[in-house]
Amino acid sequence: MGTPRILVAPLDWGLGHTTRVIPVVRELLTAGAEVVLGGTAAQHTFLKPYFPLLETLPLNSYNISYRKHAGRDVFFQVPAVLRAIEEERQACAKWVSEGRVDGFISDNRYGVFHAKVPSVIISHQLSIAGPRIAAPFLKRMNRKHLAPFREIWVPDVASAHNLAGKLSHSRDMRVSYLGMLSRFSHSTPIPNATGRPLAIISGPERMRTEFENRVVQQFEALAAPSLIVRGNPQLNSEQHGEVELVPHLADAAMKQAIQEAPLIVCRSGYSTLMDLAALGRRAVLVPTPGQPEQEYLARWFSEQYGFTHRLQSQLGRHELPASTGIWDHPFAFDPAPIREWLYHQFKI
């Protein structure tokens, strides 16, 4: 067989899934595979500076949005999500029949696979956080969507001392662990950082805007220069007193801002947490209201690794710590599952 064409397709739920496939794409290219990027126009725009020469193929957005309660809002959007998954399946079948794709790596896009070619899914959600009464249903649905994939790659480690707690472990599922998956290479943290306080805003609307507004008010009360990264490249830069808001930062600038910030405030999205792990920094974690996974991860990181956990409703009513500190840990990226998959499936 010639050079395999591997389509890598991250979910467009915020930027997290898109950023964390960057090391996967780099590993595929280093191994000699040809990579095609699948996703929305916004995802392709974001990834273009990283991989300007790669072909792209269009996939529809899941169009997840929150109003007041994330869990309830997502529930009512399930029919639209299922339609998007079916559209993905049809697109993938077409690309395979046309000989345009030899294998799939999906990051939580459940319709990106085909029975005739090697198909992998990247997911840290082997167990779904949610209300106890809904646990059996959530487990069945998750297993149903994971079943078509020949392999499951988990961005975590196999040990009990891990990043995602119970979410990334299952007694009855065969998985491979990729370790920490971040766009940033592992770096030694800077102790006693003296840069600007930093907030990293992320997630679907309208919760993203509500979080940003609360953080602006909180940072204005600091009466000192601070920086907010808005998490949406399509927004504009703004200045609110000494608070600077920027739509997005390139990796080098973002890495520097995180390393130099004495105080970091962010969501407890899993990709954000892995970026912090790569740079050895703790943060004030503010989970998206009503999103059980983020609520669980905020508690887990607070209990296990010394992070600070705040509810969004508490912002503005409680002072922020002066410093969130550095984090020393053993986690690292492990590309072995990618290399083994390429060798066994495509002999490269």
Instruction: For residues 92 and 106, give the distance between their C-alpha atoms in angstroms, rounded to a whole number.
Output: 11
Instruction: For residues 348 and 338, give the distance between their C-alpha atoms in angstroms, rounded to a whole number.
Output: 11
- CB 323, CB 262: distance < 8 Å: yes
Is 198-314 a CATH 3.30.420.40 domain?
no
pLDDT at position 115 is 97
| Tokens 């592992």, residue located | 186
pLDDT tens digits in sequence order for the chain, 348 residues long: 689 999 999 999 878 899 999 999 999 999 999 999 999 999 999 999 999 999 999 999 987 665 555 455 555 567 778 899 999 999 999 999 999 999 999 999 999 999 999 999 999 999 888 766 766 777 788 899 999 999 999 999 999 999 999 999 988 788 999 999 999 998 888 888 889 999 999 877 788 899 999 999 999 999 899 999 998 888 999 999 999 999 999 999 999 999 999 999 999 999 999 999 999 999 999 999 888 899 999 999 999 999 999 999 888 777 899 899 999 999 999 999 999 999 999 999
**Alpha carbon 221 to chain centroid, angstroms:** 30
- CB 182, CB 274: distance < 8 Å: yes
- Could you state, in order of their start, the residue ranges of all structural domains in the chain? 5-181+333-346, 198-314
Domain 5-181+333-346 shares a fold with domain 198-314? yes
The pTM is what?
0.91
Is 5-181+333-346 a CATH 3.10.180.10 domain?
no
